[in-house]
Structures are given as structure tokens and as C-alpha cells.
């Protein structure tokens, strides 16, 4: 358990996680995915490898180990914590149940917990990071220049070092259905003849029906995430999505979903009905007013895909103990955040403004 209690792991109850690290074939260093080149680079010998080369290297490893890891993962979804052994230094690290990729806290080697991204938890697609840490920091600092009352600690160098690239789990939904709407509409015409103004109102019964399609509706599949902030950096360009490969996770953190698609049934139904209503209403052009009186949606068809999307995340603990979150879309740089306020600075500026206004008023009175 976490929160205010310390983490304790009993040796006889530990689950040692199967991990994967991507080694450079030239020097043995850990390969990481580079958002700038969209390839894998070695920070030690500066070698670079394409996705095709990584796939070829992975085919040479024992597939039986991966399948055994996937099988053993089933039935272990409710573990409070799990342990993985760093393949680089041998340290045992405790993770929470949804962590899928991280780094060793002792030697900073990037590792992927293969059981968390295999079997039923294997994503179908991934949108790779297109913005690296340096660019994300530039975007963050550029936005901070516009914020006059944010504490300096929020954008200090030490704070920026805590910025993490995280892949968040999403369900992507393609929806197809039939929709029909009946509405009462009016057309109002006004004209003048001499000194008399005339108004003519015509009443209509309007009906529309058709096939409605919505693609790539995103639903974040993680309970513990700050949903408002993660969803606030939408949308993503789905055309950039790639077929999932664990190599994309190397050098970043990743979360495994803990919400299944059944949890979004009512939400999808509500959203599609609202979208369908908007589409049909937009087709009722040429009327002064339109008032829907009946709507029907049927023949629903859904296709769900499990995907990972990139987000740069930074957290900050304010003096009041509150945790503030700031997120940046790892593909296009869109930002969303909840910012702390430096009330001392705000009070000082308010006092200066009040003083200036008072002095100006006093000077104006003397001149009179």
C-alpha cells in the first residue's frame, strides 16, 4: 500500500517481473527511442538503429520467454506491488500495478516490464514521441514567461529535471450507427410597407436521418491519472500512429490500462448521441429556429483499439501541500496545466498599484 504508509514487500509474496532492455549491438549500452529522428540511438557510442533493425534483433531472442511471461501475467492483475530486477545492475525495484515502462532508480537504465504490455494488455498501436525533453522544456519555459504570479520554484532547473515522458493508455473507438431526428422549425420574415411593419412566421416539421460515423474517439484507460489534464492536451494526429513495438517505450515511462472498455459503455452512448444530434441539427439549415422533439440512434457498431499516446508530465508540490500538474502533448506541444500562485508576489504588486493610484489621486487633489 502507498499513500501515507511505507511500502513493504514480503519476499515470499514478491512477483519478479520479466523485463526487457534494448542493448546496442555495438557497445552493449541501452538504446532509447529518439523523438527527433524517430530511430533508436545509443548515448554511449552514438550508434543509430531503425525500427526495422530493432524488429530483426528482437526476432533473434527466445519467443518462449515472452509467451511464458504473458501467460504468467494473467491472474496477477490485482497485485498491490510488483518487483522487477534491473538487467543492468541487478537491483530489485518495486513498481505499482500499472507501470509498464520505467527506469532503474539506481543506474537509470531504461527497462520495459514485458508482462505489462503483452497478452491481453498488448497495445495495437502507439503514437511515438515527436518532441524530446529539450523541446518540451523550451515549450514549458516559453509558457511560463507569460505567467507573472507563478512561484519561481515551479519553473526552476531542478523542477524541469523532474519532467517525465510518459505513454498513457487510451481506448480508441470507431463508431458507426443510424441516426434520425424530428424537429419543429420556423422561418420568420419581416418587411415594411409605409409606416406598417409586417412579420410572417411559417412553421415546419423537419425530419432528417442518415448514417453517422465517428473515428478515433479517445477514452483514457487509467483511473489514477489526472483525467482533466491528460485529456486537455488532446487531440493527437492519428495518422502518425504506428503498430506497437516495445522499443518505442525504451527511455520513457509507460502506464498499463486499468479500465476496460466496458467501463465506457454509457459514456460512449451519451457522446455519440450528442454528436449525432449536432450533425443532424447542422443539416437543418435555412430556418430561423430549430427545436428537436425526437431523436433516435440505432444499429450501433463499435471497434475498439488499445493505444498508447505520448505526454510530457511535470508535478509540483505547493507550500499548501497541494500537487499541481502540468502536461505537454508529446506530439504537437499543446499544453494544459494547473498553476500555483505566488501570493506574496501578487500582494506586493497589488500594494504597489494601490500606492501609485493613491499618489496620483493625491497629486490630482493638490493641483485642484
pLDDT for the residue numbered 55: 80
Helix H, strand E, coil C: the string for the chain is CCCCCCCCCCHHHCCEECEECCECCCCCCECEEECCCCEEECCCCCCEECHHHHHHHHHCCCHHHHHHHHHHHCCCCCCCCEEEECCCCCCEEEECCCEEEEECCCCCCEEEEHHHHCHHHCCCEECCCCCCHHHHHHHHHHHHCCCCCCCHHHHCHHHHCCCEEEEEEEEEEEEEEEEEEEEEEEEEEEEEECCEEEEEEEEEEEEEEEEEEEEEEEEECCCCCCHHHHHHCCCCCHHHCEECCHHHHCCCEEECCCCCHHHHHHHHHHHHHHHHHHHHHHCCCCCCEEEEEEEEEEEEEEEEEEEEEEEEEEEEECCCCCEEEEEEECCCCCEEECCCCCHHHHHHHHHHHHHHHHHHHHHHHHHC
346 pLDDT above the threshold of 60: no
pLDDT in tens, 12-52: 344 445 556 677 777 666 788 889 888 888 775 678 888 88
* Higher pLDDT among residues 293 and 7, named by residue: 293
pLDDT for the residue numbered 103: 73
pLDDT in tens, 131-178: 999 999 999 888 887 767 677 777 788 778 878 888 999 999 999 999
- Mean pLDDT, rounded, for 319-329: 83
Q: Which pTM was predicted?
A: 0.70
pLDDT for the residue numbered 317: 77
pLDDT in tens, 55-77: 887 776 544 444 443 344 344 43
CB 109 within 8 A of CB 21: yes
pLDDT in tens, 83-111: 667 777 676 666 777 787 777 655 667 77
- Mean pLDDT, rounded, for 189-210: 94
* Higher pLDDT among residues 91 and 234, named by residue: 234
197 pLDDT above the threshold of 50: yes
pLDDT in tens, 109-132: 777 777 777 788 889 999 999 999
Amino acid at each position: 500500500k502507498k499513500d501515507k504508509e511505507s511500502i513493504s514487500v514480503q519476499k515470499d509474496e514478491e512477483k519478479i517481473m520479466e523485463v526487457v532492455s534494448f542493448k546496442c549491438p555495438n557497445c552493449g549500452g541501452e538504446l532509447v527511442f529518439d523523438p527527433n529522428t524517430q530511430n533508436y540511438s545509443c548515448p554511449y557510442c552514438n550508434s543509430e538503429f531503425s525500427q526495422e533493425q530493432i524488429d530483426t534483433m528482437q526476432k533473434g531472442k527466445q519467443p518462449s520467454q515472452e509467451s511464458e511471461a504473458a501467460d504468467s501475467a494473467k491472474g496477477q492483475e490485482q497485485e498491490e506491488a510488483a518487483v522487477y530486477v534491473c538487467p543492468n545492475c541487478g537491483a530489485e525495484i518495486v513498481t505499482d500495478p500499472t507501470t509498464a515502462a520505467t527506469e532503474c532508480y539506481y543506474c537509470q537504465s531504461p527497462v520495459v516490464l514485458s508482462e505489462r504490455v503483452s497478452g491481453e494488455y498488448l497495445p495495437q498501436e502507439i503514437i511515438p514521441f515527436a518532441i524530446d525533453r529539450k523541446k518540451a522544456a523550451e515549450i514549458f519555459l516559453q509558457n511560463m514567461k507569460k505567467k507573472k504570479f507563478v512561484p519561481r520554484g515551479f519553473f526552476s532547473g531542478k523542477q524541469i529535471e523532474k519532467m517525465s515522458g510518459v505513454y498513457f493508455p487510451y481506448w480508441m473507438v470507431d463508431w458507426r450507427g443510424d441516426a434520425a431526428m424530428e424537429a419543429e422549425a420556423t422561418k420568420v420574415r419581416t418587411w415594411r410597407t409605409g409606416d406598417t411593419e409586417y412579420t410572417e412566421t411559417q412553421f415546419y416539421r423537419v425530419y432528417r436521418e442518415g448514417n453517422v460515423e465517428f473515428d478515433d474517439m479517445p477514452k483514457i484507460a487509467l483511473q489514477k491519472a489526472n483525467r482533466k489534464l491528460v485529456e486537455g492536451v488532446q487531440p493527437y494526429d492519428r495518422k502518425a500512429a504506428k503498430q506497437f513495438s516495445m522499443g518505442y517505450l525504451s527511455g520513457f515511462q509507460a502506464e498499463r490500462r486499468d479500465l476496460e472498455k466496458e467501463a465506457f459503455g454509457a459514456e460512449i452512448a451519451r457522446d455519440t448521441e450528442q454528436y449525432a444530434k449536432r450533425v443532424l441539427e447542422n443539416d437543418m439549415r435555412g430556418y430561423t429556429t430549430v427545436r428537436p422533439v425526437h431523436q433516435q440512434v440505432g444499429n450501433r457498431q463499435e471497434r475498439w483499439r488499445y493505444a498508447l499516446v505520448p505526454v510530457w508530465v511535470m508535478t509540483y508540490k505547493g507550500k499548501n501541500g497541494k500537487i499541481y500538474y502540468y502536461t505537454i502533448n508529446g506530439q504537437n506541444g499543446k499544453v494544459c496545466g494547473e498553476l500555483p500562485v505566488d501570493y506574496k508576489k501578487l500582494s506586493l504588486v497589488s500594494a504597489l498599484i494601490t500606492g501609485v493610484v493613491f499618489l496620483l489621486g493625491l497629486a490630482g487633489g493638490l493641483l485642484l
